[in-house]
A and B are shown apart, each in its own frame.
Chain A
Amino acid sequence: MTTFIAITVSGLALGAVYFLISSGLSLIYGLMDVLNFAHGVFLTLGAYAGWAVAQHVPQRGPAFVLTALAAAAAGAAVAALTEIALIRPLYGRPVSQILVTIGLDLALVGLLLGGFGSDSRPVPVPGWVSAVTAIGPERIPNGDFAALAVGLAVLAALTWFLRRTRYGIVIRAGAENRDMVRALGIDVGRAFTLVFAIGGAAAGLAGLLNSVVFNSALVDPEQGDQLLIFAFIVVVIGGLGSITGSAIAALLVGLVQVYVTFYAGHGAGLGQLGNMSVVLLLAAVLLVRPRGLLGRAA
């Protein structure tokens, strides 16, 4: 059992990454009824932006913060652009909005594959990120702590934003009733762009953290889409539109995935057991409670 703590922290860190992605997805869906498949690309572009910046910055101490900021900024920028150029013109056609994000995902991943090939590139990080910390007899990678810290920070920031700021109130109200928000003289369109930007920033961070913590500090064009499927599962388990639901579901999925993989996923024919168990968890939750843990009733 000496590795239990390390495994648990790893599961929590994975949960933190999932939360970063699913919180954005949940916000966007809650306010706009759009299921954003392009989120995977925001992830990947964020990771590449971090990689690009890290090439030019000496990797000491707090340099990682700069890398993370670059990832978040890139994610936010691409997301905002997506909303303005592709989502807005399709207002009133929710299926088309979902489809256009799928098309964007396809096109941008294709472009990245064309430009970078499917090879992965290493992201330069300061020494402390790849080092380990000893907790009792166990050695835990610092990257796990970083992911957890970022996840908690974003959760706190998001909660503060939604509860205390005017735009936060507008977003919460809009998720309930967009028309009434308009009928109070508020331009909901700006909230749409903002929500996409927030989701994109969180996704960019998630992409970078996923590369560094779970992918041996490598970025490649296809990592976003792999993660996205799990993020969708988290969002649906947690309940569409609920940030708290996403947080709980994210931790649950992260832990289940890691525990099952570590304790049961050995031997021939079981390598993907951890992933499969997450999928089955989704099916189980949906059978018992179709709207997810904390989702609003349809």
Chain B
Amino acid sequence: MMRKRVIAVILLAAAVAVPFANLIVPGVLPGPVDILNSAGTLDVLGLCFVFGGVALGYDVAFGFTGLLSFGQVLYFAVGTYLLDIALSVWHWPLLPAVAVTLLAGLALALLLGAVSLRGSGIAFAMVTLAFAQCGYYLIEDNPHGLTGGDTGLVMSTSRLPAGLVGVASTRNLYWLALAFLAGAYAVVWLVTGSVTGRVWLAIRESERRAEVLGFRPMRFKLASFTLSSLIATVGGMVYLLLVGTVAPSSVATTTVTVSILVMVVLGGAGTRWGAVAGAMVYVYLQQYLLKIAAEPSFASLPGPVRVPLSQPDFLLGAIFVLFILFAPGGIAGLAARFRRGPVEQE
């Protein structure tokens, strides 16, 4: 236990220090420049942190409580779009905008969660999917010109504090994203370690058993769902600040939902750090592959190699399938196996 905390602190310290590291790291960096603390690299790392947090949130619902939701993108989209609208269309200052977005996200999660959880298993999954699709349609429809429809909505920076705008903002935004991830991790770590967390695990195994133990599953499921969605909403807000613009195709589609699911399973569901690791690997690979595909030397690769590599989805999907078949515990599972040595697993 102590060892895990030490590792966590070291990693956190290292992450905080990255923006000061003016090192040349050839070949593996996702940004256009091969320097560790370049804007391109910091941007991608920030994105990794954001999705690390969002994936962690999803792990609470899926990995710990066994709720297979297909609609988490909705709450992420709410975080991005509501904040964007508040800042750019209504021109509110940052703090009220954030507060309102949070409250709206919370209310939506409670309301839709209560409705969706009336069904279990597949019915629940389908309803969450349906609600998320509804959100997508709503955004596409551009009611009252609020969302910008298909083309998206660029964030207006007029009401933002100076630290988050302009050239110097890259580092601050990086640290903001890191703070989000660290905060989310702390909260999740505390809650999953508490009695609530144990009830969630019991529910995952069998709702009947949880009932027998004297707990009302519905409350705990709703709590899990709400926490998960709230983290996604906050993640959405950080995403907006980081990226500066949103469009339905990047923050509201089922594809995003699927990505988050893949991140969690790839990393290892129910292990907390697994979800974060999975997300970081996923986003990093995706950005790295996109960078490679854009390089001039890439076009000269033979067709059968070039085509699959040009689409990160193919590679990520294939890796995902391989993991499910051969390493169902994800990255965390592999790490545990490695630690245990060549001892026979169950």
Interface of A toward B, CB cutoff 8 Å: 29, 35, 86, 89-90, 93, 95-96, 98-100, 102-111, 113-115, 225, 229, 232-233, 236, 240, 268-273, 275-276, 279-280, 282-283, 286-287, 290-292, 298
Contacts of B311 in A (CB 8 A): 110-111, 113-114
Contacts of A283 in B (CB 8 A): 115, 127, 130-131
Known: A114-B314, A279-B133. A240 touches B122 (CB 8 A): yes
- Indicate if the CB atoms of A102 and B314 lie closer than 8 Å: no
- Indicate if the CB atoms of B313 and A110 lie closer than 8 Å: yes
Contacts of B68 in A (CB 8 A): 95, 98
Cβ of B175 within 8 Å of any chain A Cβ, yes or no, is no
Known: A102-B262, A225-B254, A268-B142. A107 touches B318 (CB 8 A): yes
User: Given A35, A102, A233, which contacts B258 in the complex, CB threshold below 8 Å?
Assistant: A102
Give the distance to chain B from A142, nearest Cβ to Cβ, in Å. 30
**How far is A273 from B121 in the complex, measured between Cα atoms in Å?**
28
Known: A90-B324, A96-B328, A110-B313. A271 touches B141 (CB 8 A): yes
- Indicate if the CB atoms of A89 and B325 lie closer than 8 Å: yes
CB under 8 Å from chain A, chain B span 133-149: 133-134, 137-138, 140-145
Give the distance to chain A from B256, nearest Cβ to Cβ, in Å. 12
- Indicate if the CB atoms of A113 and B313 lie closer than 8 Å: yes
**How far is A15 from B137 in the complex, measured between Cα atoms in Å?**
21
Known: A89-B325, A104-B317, A106-B262. A236 touches B126 (CB 8 A): yes
**How far is A106 from B321 in the complex, measured between Cα atoms in Å?**
10
- Indicate if the CB atoms of B129 and A229 lie closer than 8 Å: yes
- Indicate if the CB atoms of A232 and B129 lie closer than 8 Å: yes
**How far is A103 from B325 in the complex, measured between Cα atoms in Å?**
11
Please list the 7 inter-chain residue pairs (A to B) with the smallest Cβ-Cβ separation, ordered nearest first. Answer: A107-B317, A110-B313, A106-B317, A110-B314, A272-B137, A103-B320, A114-B311
CB under 8 Å from chain A, chain B span 95-151: 115, 118-123, 125-127, 129-131, 133-134, 137-138, 140-145
**How far is A7 from B6 in the complex, measured between Cα atoms in Å?**
66
**How far is A29 from B122 in the complex, measured between Cα atoms in Å?**
10
**How far is A298 from B137 in the complex, measured between Cα atoms in Å?**
31
- Indicate if the CB atoms of B316 and A106 lie closer than 8 Å: yes
Give the distance to chain A from B146, nearest Cβ to Cβ, in Å. 9
Known: A103-B262, A107-B321. A269 touches B144 (CB 8 A): yes
Cβ of B307 within 8 Å of any chain A Cβ, yes or no, is yes
Give the distance to chain B from A161, nearest Cβ to Cβ, in Å. 25
Contacts of A275 in B (CB 8 A): 133, 137
Give the distance to chain B from A229, nearest Cβ to Cβ, in Å. 6
Chain B contact patch, size range: 35 or more
Contacts of A292 in B (CB 8 A): 123
- Indicate if the CB atoms of B126 and A282 lie closer than 8 Å: yes
- Please encode chain B, from 304 to 315, with 1 for each CB lying within 8 Å of some chain A CB and 0 for all others: 000110111111
User: Given A104, A114, A282, which contacts B308 in the complex, CB threshold below 8 Å?
Assistant: A114
**How far is A98 from B62 in the complex, measured between Cα atoms in Å?**
14
Cβ of B332 within 8 Å of any chain A Cβ, yes or no, is no
Known: A100-B325, A279-B134. A110 touches B141 (CB 8 A): no
Cβ of B42 within 8 Å of any chain A Cβ, yes or no, is no
- Indicate if the CB atoms of B127 and A286 lie closer than 8 Å: yes
Chain A, interface SS category: helix
Chain B, interface SS category: helix
**How far is A290 from B115 in the complex, measured between Cα atoms in Å?**
11
Cβ of B265 within 8 Å of any chain A Cβ, yes or no, is yes
Give the distance to chain B from A224, nearest Cβ to Cβ, in Å. 12
Contacts of B122 in A (CB 8 A): 29, 35, 236, 240
**How far is A273 from B134 in the complex, measured between Cα atoms in Å?**
9
Cβ of B261 within 8 Å of any chain A Cβ, yes or no, is yes
Contacts of A286 in B (CB 8 A): 118-119, 123, 126-127
**How far is A129 from B104 in the complex, measured between Cα atoms in Å?**
50
- Indicate if the CB atoms of A107 and B127 lie closer than 8 Å: no
Known: A232-B126, A298-B120. A99 touches B307 (CB 8 A): no
- Indicate if the CB atoms of A114 and B321 lie closer than 8 Å: no
**How far is A280 from B141 in the complex, measured between Cα atoms in Å?**
16
Give the distance to chain A from B30, nearest Cβ to Cβ, in Å. 19
- Indicate if the CB atoms of B138 and A111 lie closer than 8 Å: no
User: Given A225, A276, A287, which contacts B115 in the complex, CB threshold below 8 Å?
Assistant: A287
Contacts of B137 in A (CB 8 A): 272, 275-276, 279
- Indicate if the CB atoms of B141 and A269 lie closer than 8 Å: yes
- Indicate if the CB atoms of A269 and B143 lie closer than 8 Å: yes
**How far is A232 from B270 in the complex, measured between Cα atoms in Å?**
27
Contacts of A233 in B (CB 8 A): 126, 130
**How far is A155 from B288 in the complex, measured between Cα atoms in Å?**
48
- Indicate if the CB atoms of B131 and A279 lie closer than 8 Å: yes
> Which residue on A lies nearest to B147, using beta carbons?
A269
- Indicate if the CB atoms of A103 and B321 lie closer than 8 Å: yes
- Please encode chain B, from 288 to 311, with 1 for each CB lying within 8 Å of some chain A CB and 0 for all others: 000000000000000000011011
Known: A100-B321, A287-B118. A106 touches B313 (CB 8 A): yes
